[in-house]
Chains A and B, each alone.
Chain A
Amino acid sequence: MAVNVSIPTILRTHTGGEKSVEASGKTVLEVIDDIEAKHGGLKDRLVKDEKLHRFVNVYVNDEDVRFAGGLDAEVKDGDTVTILPAVAGGAR
């Protein structure tokens, strides 16, 4: 099960500067674990207490996985997984 994973600028230090990497897995968590095995350090930036970090968005194709099972969201062969840090902030 090969998927293409798009890596945001801030996390490319963990992928040797690569904008996207190949990974495998049947769920988002398996894909993240597979990337972690090849490029250590990435998982900590995405997952906290076995949940996706509140200010990191992960999409399978066009769907935000937060609305599709979170880390258990299903991934199929040929899917594109996109990781994007939220753009957020505030006065407080």
Chain B
Amino acid sequence: MLRIRRDLVDAIVEHARRDHPDEACGVIAGPDDGTDRPERFIPMLNAARSPTFYEFDSADLLRLYREMDANDEVPVVIYHSHTATEAYPSRTDVKLAQEPFAHYVLVSTRDPEEHDFRSYRIVNGVVTEEPVEVVESYMFANTGSDDLPDA
């Protein structure tokens, strides 16, 4: 399961809307302490600038991983958008997924009003969808999205 703060979900969706019709991509880093808690929103440039492909720029990628290393962080969430198809990992997504401990978040922006926000584990070519729990804060474990009005 992915537990994620609402402001981080909003930031991902906003980025995906802003870059539409190109795919948007980025990372939410979190502490490397096994808590699996996404904390720091890092939008990345899609070096491919494409509606059907995304790739972090190679220099940005090195900078990102050095920074996470220095902060004792890991990429808890790796997100990208699909702008004309559903929020499900494509064959390319599965083939290229190389962070076995990350939550791969996909947002679909094909509908201008409604978005789809879904999360997956992708390990050795196997995709497993997981529930997403949106919380206001990580401090109150029982405040789930069910307790709050829809956005």
Which positions in A face B, CB cutoff 8 Å?
Answer: 8-10, 55, 57, 59, 62, 64, 66, 82, 84-92
B138 at the interface (CB under 8 A from A): no
- Once the chains bind, are A90 and B62 in contact (CB under 8 Å)? no
Q: Which chain A residue has the least Cβ–Cβ distance from B91? A: A92
Given the contacts A8-B98, A10-B100, A55-B96, A88 and B58 also touching, CB distance less than 8 Å: no
Chain B residues with CB under 8 Å of A89's CB are: 53-54, 80, 89-90, 92-93, 96-97
Given the contacts A10-B99, A55-B96, A86-B96, A91 and B90 also touching, CB distance less than 8 Å: yes
SS class of chain B's interface: helix, strand, loop or mixed? Answer: mixed
- Once the chains bind, are A64 and B99 in contact (CB under 8 Å)? no
When the two chains form the complex, which single residue of A9, A57, A92 contacts B90, counting CB atoms closer than 8 Å?
Answer: A92
- Once the chains bind, are A88 and B56 in contact (CB under 8 Å)? yes
- Once the chains bind, are B90 and A90 in contact (CB under 8 Å)? yes
When the two chains form the complex, which single residue of B50, B58, B91, B99 contacts A57, counting CB atoms closer than 8 Å?
Answer: B58
